[in-house]
Amino acid sequence: MSRWGPEGPPEEAYSRVSDPAKFAAVHVPGRRVLAELTRRYQVRAEEYQAQARPAREGRHAAQAGPAVRLVPADPAAWPLTIVFTAATGIEVWAGEEHRLHLPVCACDACDETTEESEVHLRDWVGLIVAGTLGEQMAPGAPARAAWQVRPA
């Protein structure tokens, strides 16, 4: 149940962000997930400054910020990029088209916590690593390869 009770949040809470630190807080689990993926899988990490891109039909605008792109050893596997932004938290990119924004919403009306954002992040990253995101996002698209685990 929402902290607002059965009446729900007041209307003005949807357009207010009283805790902008909520955006920076998701950088920690984002960095943690990148470190775990780099240790576990055969990937090359590329750090760069992501450039903002305007929204396209049906898509959010991409934010600018420091980014880390993990490129799997298998070219048939999708790369994964996490962009760290001050204004929106993190963006996770799979391939060139699929985007996840965390927190999904940080307005005062929403109850999303940093912990919930991390669970959502790990679930989505799990689909990418397993090679199943493309199949779920675009039925009939060619399957993507799963990421290869580093030899022990």
- Domain count along the chain: 1
- Stretch among 4-13, 34-43, 97-106 having the lowest mean pLDDT: 97-106
> Do residues 137 and 58 touch, judged by C-beta distance below 8 A?
no
The two tokens of residue 71 are: 């490129």
The whole-number pLDDT of residue 98 equals: 79
Q: 51-73: per-residue pLDDT in tens? A: 877 766 655 666 778 999 999 99
Q: Which residues span the domain enclosing 89?
A: 16-50+64-131
The whole-number pLDDT of residue 29 equals: 94
Assess if residue 44 is contained within a domain.
yes
Q: How far apart are CA 133 and CA 139, in angstroms?
A: 10
The whole-number pLDDT of residue 40 equals: 96
Assess if residue 107 is contained within a domain.
yes
Assess if residue 137 is contained within a domain.
no
Share of the chain above pLDDT 90, in %: 36
Assess if residue 78 is contained within a domain.
yes
pTM: 0.81
Q: How far apart are CA 97 and CA 119, in angstroms?
A: 22
